[in-house]
Chains A and B, each alone.
Chain A
Amino acid sequence: DAEITQSPRHKITETGRQVTLACHQTWNHNNMFWYRQDLGHGLRLIHYSYGVQDTNKGEVSDGYSVSRSNTEDLPLTLESAASSQTSVYFCASSESVGTDTQYFGPGTRLTVL
Chain B
Amino acid sequence: QKEVEQNSGPLSVPEGAIASLNCTYSDRGSQSFFWYRQYSGKSPELIMFIYSNGDKEDGRFTAQLNKASQYVSLLIRDSQPSDSATYLCAVNRGNQGGKLIFGQGTELSVKP
> Do A and B share a complex?
yes
Give the distance in Å from the alpha carbon of A45 to the alpha carbon of B91 in the complex: 13
Give the distance in Å from the alpha carbon of A104 to the alpha carbon of B88 in the complex: 13
Say whether, besides A40-B104, A42-B88, A42-B103, A104 and B98 are in contact (CB < 8 Å): no
**Nearest Cβ in chain B — how far from A111, in angstroms?**
15
A31 at the interface (CB under 8 A from B): yes
A-side contacts of B97, CB under 8 Å: 31, 50
Q: What is the size, in residues, of chain B's interface with A at 8 Å between Cβ atoms?
A: 19
Verify B98–A94 contact, CB threshold 8 A.
yes
B46 at the interface (CB under 8 A from A): yes
Of the listed residues B46, B90, B98, B100, the one surrounded by the most CB atoms of chain A closer than 10 A to its CB is B98
B32 at the interface (CB under 8 A from A): yes
A106 at the interface (CB under 8 A from B): yes
Give the distance in Å from the alpha carbon of A65 to the alpha carbon of B46 in the complex: 27
Interface residues of A (CB under 8 A from B): 31, 33, 35, 40-43, 45, 48, 50, 58, 90, 94, 96, 99-107
